[in-house]
Chain A
Amino acid sequence: MNIHIITSKSGVSFFSFLLNYGVGVKIYDNPSVKKFLLKDLKIDEDYISNRIQTLFLNSKPIDNIDNAFLENGATLALSAAMPGTAGALFRKKGRYAAMRKQITYTDNIDIKKNKEGKIILKLFNMPAKELAGIIFERGVLIEKETLSLFLKNYNQRITPHIKEIHSDCKKKDKTIFFNRNLKAINLKVTFS
């Protein structure tokens, strides 16, 4: 099912919760992480360089986003700089990167090539809040379990922010989104 929600501007931030759990995003031709963020998600280059300081591909910290490539089924996670020694050592090209060298992403990993695929994209902390608008405007796939948790936590608070809901290009009653029997959905969120 395809659902398009039009909210108030402040309403979009509630959806950042979904990004913590991970959302499905389509990829084409095994892009590099850099290309995916820049060209597909259309995130500003300065933001990628300066704000996104911590990245994991299949749980492996990435230092070089030009040489890390996405394949069908991969999980990509993005975060700002984090505190503590652990925060310092997980940063891309950080001073203490050697302290986690055993799990670092290396660019000699073989990937399975596909014309089209789907990855799980996770965003944490500030990037989740700041990029929610861009990500949801593009459209993402939400699994049933994540959607149920989201509705349980945000049902009442998000309702006043929702202006319209469309399903498969037809305007629908708001309740369609809060139907607990929904399975996985393609969700697009914009604001007006």
Chain B
Amino acid sequence: MDKILKINMTGDAPNFKIESLGDYEGLGGRAMTSAVIYKEVPPLSHPLSADNKLIIAPGLMSGSAAVISGRLSVGCKSPLTGGIKEANSGGQPSQMLARLGYAAVIIEGKPKQNNLYKLFISKDGIQLTVDNSLKMLGNYDLIDKMKEAYGDQIGCISIGPAGEMKMSAASIACTDMELRPTRHAGRGGVGAVMGSKGIKVIVIDDSGTSIRAPKDKERFKNANKAFAEGLKKHPVTGEGLAAYGTNVLTNIINEAGAYPAHNFSFGQFKGASKISGETMAETETKRGGLATHGCHKGCVIKCSGVYNDKDGNYLTKQPEYETVWAHGGNCGIDDLDAIAMLDRLDDDLGIDTIEMGAAIGVAMEAGLLKFGDADGAIRLLKEEVGKGTPLGRVLGNGAAVTGKVFGVERVPVVKGQAMPAYDPRAVQGVAVTYATSPMGADHTAGYAVGSNIMGVGGKTDPLKPEGQADLSRDLQIATAALDSTGLCLFISFAILDQPETFNAMVELLNGFLGKDFTADDIIELGKSVLKNERDFNTKAGFTSKHDRLPEYFKNEVLPPHKVTFGVSDEELDQVFNW
């Protein structure tokens, strides 16, 4: 990856140029997107203005033979939070862009006219053309049209109607191995920024390219083998995720009393077992779908699946835990088929499942629907959000806007972004990450990715009740580094538990890049990413007051544990004091 594709949408005739990496040499994924935003986007710019930029960056090892290295980072100033954003997606495009040599695609400016463009990238060059026939197409129909036009060896990055309507919860879809728009850079409204640039779809054809070669073939090959073996032998990455997907967490989090039910009113949901990973895997298998499936080539964990309807026809990919929770227990819905339909609609409209589920939960709290009304939730999404009615636009702009419009106090957001599926009162260490992450409430910002083995924060006794802030900081640093490599976060357990697998991962990176990075270098990379992000947010007007949970988490007692959020503001302010 030795070049950057810059698309300038300003003026009557948008244009493009290909540049060398310059200052961005050696960066990938989140490190790349956050560096570009920090350096090139005015912090006080409007997220939908010409000044904002949309950066699409494959991870450092994407396009190589490194297993599970196909994660794509999408960054911009977020219309949802007003701060910096990196949203991460699986699917095929990361590998394809990387093989074409692009370390980033940067889309800037804003078109003068109300035209919709498609961008075609192949080894033979770039085509940027107006195609207004694509207006308001759902992602599924859009991809079918792209297949007709370009064949089935392509990958696509696209927006649905939500992105075109510039809804703050709009996502960017990436196609999977079956060329379905099922993988999404979901969070923060990145789809709205793509919509503001007037680009509907980026079609990538990597025909005629070859796999990216490592600098040190032998070192890379040996490390890749050891890394893959480490992932396969671990019970989580080699077994649990493959058998049940991420939704295996439903029963566990519910049993722990940390499952936010009915818009964060309760810590347990009576219908949890009906929508659990175990039940879902059973349903998928029974209907001829798949309980085990990868989202991109080279994945050895295979945490996804294929969910068929009652007649055995494809409906959607296996909904993830966060989606099942957001549209399920959070809204009092215990019907897997309804949740799968909501997931399909989210993917087609191009909207974040967490934000949408949270917004509907807030709307239910306001009395717009009753908790548990699955048909009503489907109608809201299909008829209101999908058609861009005034109510649909309120919901499509997320939980915070919905709460304001309907006068609801219990709105589970930080920095304007909805919380994921872990109640902050029951798991307060995760809540510290929700509060302090530069991204807004985000469960993937502080992933358990082996900070112990990296030695971030030193070695500590696991049962010693040390500061939640210290643990959250360690995890956020480790996660920021991993998000830059292109590796999937789900490798976390294997590298957490198996030092030899962590070493294999570092060797893999070194073999590929021909470097001798140490764990310390990886920590420094993570810190530098977070520093860029924090500095950008500060310049955008964020202060320590934005690193807080909503007040009601301190006052409302969560059953069954009868706990409130108790981490002090002073401790929260120490998270980034490294």
Question: A interface vs B, CB < 8 Å?
Answer: 17, 20-21, 51, 53-54, 56, 59-61, 63, 77, 79-90, 93-103, 122, 124-126, 128, 157
Instruction: Specify which chain A residues have a CB less than 8 angstroms from the CB of B237 in the assembled complex.
Output: 83
On whether A86 and B427 interact (CB within 8 A), knowing A51-B235, A98-B462, the answer reads: yes
B375-419 contacts to A (CB < 8 Å): none
Chain B residues within an 8 Å CB radius of A84: 246, 249, 321, 443, 447-448, 492
Roughly how many angstroms separate A148 CA and B6 CA in the complex, as a whole number?
61
Which residues of the other chain, A, contact B240 by a CB distance below 8 angstroms?
80-83, 125-126
Kindly list chain A residues whose C-beta atoms are within 8 Å of the C-beta of B430: 85-86, 89, 99
B468 at the interface (CB under 8 A from A): yes
Task: Check A97 against B462 for contact (C-beta < 8 Å).
Answer: yes
Contacting pair A20 B463 (CB below 8 A)? no
Q: Is the CB of B563 within 8 A of A90?
A: no
Nearest neighbor of A76 in chain B, beta-carbon distance: B255
CB closest residue in chain A, given B564: A102
- Kindly state the separation between the CA atoms of A50 and B500 in the bound complex, as whole angstroms: 19
User: Complex: how many Å from CA A161 to CA B39?
Assistant: 66
Chain B positions 248 through 260: 1 when the CB is less than 8 Å from some CB of chain A, otherwise 0: 1101110111100
CB within 8 Å for A98 and B252 given contacts A85-B475, A88-B493: no
Quick check: B448 and A20 within 8 Å, CB to CB?
no
Q: Could you say which of A56, A96, A102 contacts B462, with CB atoms under 8 Å apart? A: A96
Closest A-B pairs by Cβ, 4 of them = A99-B429, A88-B448, A59-B257, A124-B251
Interface residue ranges, B against A (CB under 8 Å): 235-237, 239-241, 243-244, 246, 248-249, 251-253, 255-258, 268, 273, 276-279, 282, 286, 303, 321, 422, 425-430, 433, 443, 446-448, 452, 462-466, 468, 471-472, 475, 490, 492-493, 496, 560-561, 563, 566
B563 to chain A minimum Cβ distance, whole angstroms, is: 5
Q: 13 A-B pairs, CB-CB below 8 angstroms?
A: A17-B278, A54-B252, A85-B433, A87-B236, A89-B427, A89-B430, A90-B252, A95-B448, A95-B452, A98-B471, A99-B427, A99-B428, A125-B277
Contact (Cβ within 8 A) A21 B235:
no
Cα(A67)–Cα(B381), bound, Å: 49
Please report the C-alpha to C-alpha distance between residue A94 and residue B450 in the assembled complex, in whole angstroms.
Answer: 12
In the assembled complex, which residues on chain B have CB atoms less than 8 Å from the CB atom of A60?
Answer: 561
Known interface pairs A82-B240, A102-B563, A103-B426; A20-B278 also in contact (CB < 8 Å)? yes
Question: Considering the chains assembled together, what is the distance between the CA atoms of A101 and B567 in angstroms?
Answer: 12
A89 to chain B, nearest CB (A): 6
